[in-house]
Amino acid sequence: MKSFRFLLLPGVLAASACQSLPVAAPHYTQFRVTNYRGDLIADWIAEGSYRRFGDAYEIKAVERTSGPPLSQTTHYPNGWRTVINGPHIIRWSSGKPYWLYRLDTQ
């Protein structure tokens, strides 16, 4: 019975600490997918971490802009888990999109 108490105590302490720890702001990464000539296929903005496997990335997208000739920007306020792939993918850190800031203030 005493060993059960010792096993239960760390679990209770860990669960109570989760509510008092500060939550880090999510980071954003921008991905640009181009063809072999360098023409834009799509731009993506991902929230949080991403995972690379092979030539593709698994991301939580918050915004996607399709390439020309009929460019269209789509917003995903709750995020959208997706896989992006293409011949050339470039990624870099970016800031939070302005439209997400506006949603947070409403």
Task: Specify the range with the lowest mean pLDDT, choosing from 5-14, 72-81, 89-98.
Answer: 5-14
In-domain check, residue 10: no
Count of structural domains within the chain: 1
Cis peptide before 10 (omega within 30 of 0): no
Rounded to an integer, the average pLDDT of 82-101 is 94
The reported pTM is: 0.75
- Residues 6 or more apart in contact with residue 75 via CB below 8 angstroms: 62, 63, 97, 99
Rounded to an integer, the average pLDDT of 25-40 is 94
Quick check: 13 pLDDT over 60? no
In-domain check, residue 2: no
Domain containing 57 equals 25-95
